[in-house]
Amino acid sequence: MPTALIILAAGQGTRMNSDLPKVLHEVAGAPLLAHAMQAGWALAPERVVVVAGHGADAVDAAAREHDPEAVVVQQEEQLGTAHAVAQARAALEGFAGDAVVLYGDTPFIRPETLEAMAEARRTHDVVVLGFEAADPGRYGRLVTEGEALVRIVEFKDASDAERAIRLCNSGVVAADCDTLFSLIAAVGNDNAAGEYYLPDIVEIARARGLSAGVVRCAEAETLGVNTRAELVAAEATFQARARAAALEDGVTLVAPETVHFAHDTVIGRDAVVEQNVVFGPGVTVETGARIRAFSHLEGCHVSRGAVVGPYARLRPGAELAEDVHVGNFVEIKNAVLDEGVKANHLSYIGDAHIGEASNIGAGTITCNYDGVFKHHTEIGARAFIGSNTMLVAPVRVGDGAMTASGSVITQDVPDGALALARARQEVKPGLARRFFEKLRAAKARQQQKEAE
Ligand code: UD1
Ligand code: CA
């Protein structure tokens, strides 16, 4: 069944106390909206429509970064969830299939849950996702008769008997797209909030002789983010799941509770991740690699057998081939390190390519930025870059070439050549001794004066 996702993201999010639209606050390095869209991917949607309000341009950009084909429509005034869904109508004109409504601030709906809803659609015209709440609070309540869903009542409008129901509305709904819009068109706003309630479609559907059913999920899946504190709780939930999944996948985590994953981190089996490692978005680590303590990785790839850290920083575009070693206080950005390269101490390598088995001495820096442009550094295979070499890009050091420690390399170094680019050393016999004698004598005179 072709499926369209309608993601409601027009909330002001006033309780976040933020200039940023609520759905753009991040969990695991991705906006809440992207998590909701990702959850919906389980249904392989043909269309994705995001209903935005406050900060629509920024929401539009974030939605299309996640899915370039997503359509963002604007709900100018927030008149209720049914009114929000109605804004998606024009964007879904002519679409034949199911529509599933998700919330942009609800990041954790599992694929299995959405699949169960699709399955339940075989027997019901409208399927609502419900959950048994530990504390039902102000959630809408699902009024059922046996397996059938009779109606949904908002807390504000509920009787005491209805408020005693523990089965709550998550807000997620699935129905045939045309049916959904036809039901929504019949929703009124004669209720305690004066809003157009999406849940009212259940009662309207039943009155038309259609059937409604409930799929249940764990309360944790429907966790919505309304405050900074809830955002923190969502992050903790995400991290707990990601750590458990990594262990399940055969990754060694020495101290899982100290490792921070991004939404898209991929780590191979038998890779080792030591304490206090942070993964930003876009990291892949192959099997058998080792990420040592206190390293920070983002937008990079680490191949089999490579060792990173402790205290290393891999920034976007860092590509480490097999058996590369990157050690303490080394920063790598937009650079490809071929097999077996070693950069073990205190270096910055940016906008560069380093050929296989080359050794980068401590303190080496690619001077890639002239204040306006970025320039490339090319280092051949089996080169030896002496400690504290400044490579002023654009520059090339050839295969098997060597730079002397402390050199400032401004010109290309041919294959096999040695480049020395530092002042020649002079030695003055006895000068240090005479110099110190002079200083000590001066100090003694000063102390004598102070005593007088
Ligand atoms: C809604 C449900 C309630 C359910 C609860 C689950 C309604 C009327 N009630 O209540 O049954 O238990 O979610 O969390 O649907 N939104 C828009 N435009 C609007 C109004 C809302 O885009 O005009 C979006 C919000 O940004 C939010 C979502 O829809 O993402 C839910 O709206 P909200 O006002 O939070 O509904 P609740 O009162 O929580
Ligand atoms: Ca809500």
For residue 208, give both structure tokens.
Answer: 């038309």
Burial tier of 259 (Cβ tally within 10 Å: 0-12, 13-18, 19+): buried
Burial tier of 275 (Cβ tally within 10 Å: 0-12, 13-18, 19+): middle
Count Cα neighbours of 449 within 13 Å in the Cβ-side half-sphere.
Answer: 6
Q: Mean pLDDT in runs of 10 for the chain (452 residues)?
A: 95 88 96 96 96 92 96 95 98 97 95 97 98 94 94 97 97 98 98 96 98 96 93 96 97 98 98 98 98 98 98 98 98 98 98 98 98 98 98 98 98 98 97 98 97 92
AA identity, residue 248: E
Q: Give the angle subtended at the CA of 27 by the CAs of 24 and 31, to the nearest 5°.
A: 25
**DSSP secondary-structure letter at 381?**
T
Ligand nearest to the CA of 133: 1
What is the C-alpha separation between 64 and 55, in angstroms, rounded?
A: 14
Which atom of ligand 1 is closest in space to residue 170's alpha carbon? 6
Q: Hey, is 59 helix, strand or coil?
A: helix
Number of residues assigned to the chain: 452
**DSSP secondary-structure letter at 173?**
E
State in Å: Cα 246 to ligand 2 middle. Answer: 31
**DSSP secondary-structure letter at 374?**
B
Give tens-digit pLDDT for 272-321: 999 999 999 999 999 999 999 999 999 999 999 999 999 999 999 999 99
Q: What is the pLDDT of residue 146?
A: 87
Separation in Å, CA 167 to CA 42, 132, 153, 303: 25, 5, 11, 48
For residue 164, give both structure tokens.
Answer: 């005693």
What is the C-alpha separation between 130 and 213, in angstroms, rounded?
A: 10
CB atoms within 10 A of CB 265: 23
Ligand nearest to the CA of 14: 1
State in Å: Cα 91 to ligand 2 middle. Answer: 24
Ligand 1 site, CB within 6 A: 8-11, 51, 75, 78-81, 83-84, 103-105, 139-140, 152, 154, 168-171, 197-199, 224
Q: Give the angle subtended at the CA of 387 by the CAs of 386 and 389, to the nearest 5°.
A: 75
What is the C-alpha separation between 252 and 267, in angstroms, rounded?
A: 10
- Enumerate the H helices of 186-307 as residue ranges: 201-207, 228-248
**Residue among 32, 81, 165, 190 whose CB has most ligand 1 atoms within 8 A, to mutate:** 81
Give tens-digit pLDDT for 82-124: 999 999 999 999 999 999 999 999 999 999 999 999 999 999 9
Closest protein CA for atom 21 of ligand 1: 81
Handedness of CA 206, 211, 216, 219 (dihedral sign): negative
Which atom of ligand 1 is closest in space to residue 222's alpha carbon? 14
Q: Hey, is 52 helix, strand or coil?
A: strand
Q: Phi first, then psi: what are they for 408, rounded to 5°?
A: -110, 105
Q: What is the pLDDT of residue 55?
A: 86
* pTM score of the predicted model: 0.90
Burial tier of 46 (Cβ tally within 10 Å: 0-12, 13-18, 19+): middle
Please name which of 346, 323, 320 lies closest in space to residue 333, comparing C-alpha atoms.
320
Please name which of 311, 389, 380 lies closest in space to residue 352, comparing C-alpha atoms.
380
Please name which of 364, 423, 27 lies closest in space to residue 225, comparing C-alpha atoms.
27
Our answer to whether residue 345 is catalytic in this structure is yes
What is the C-alpha separation between 271 and 189, in angstroms, rounded?
A: 56
Domains in the chain, CATH or no CATH each: 3-222 (3.90.550.10), 228-419 (2.160.10.10)
Q: What is the pLDDT of residue 220?
A: 92
Q: From its phi and psi, is residue 437 left (phi > 0), alpha (psi between -120 and 50) or beta?
A: alpha
Q: Hey, is 373 helix, strand or coil?
A: coil
Q: Hey, is 343 helix, strand or coil?
A: strand
Among the options 25, 345, 353, 376, which is catalytic? 345
What is the C-alpha separation between 184 and 204, in angstroms, rounded?
A: 9
b/e map 424-433, b = 16+ CB within 10 Å:
eeeeeeeeee
Q: Sort strands 126-132 and 167-176 into parallel, antiparallel or unpaired.
A: antiparallel
Q: What is the pLDDT of residue 11?
A: 79
What is the C-alpha separation between 125 and 98, in angstroms, rounded?
A: 10
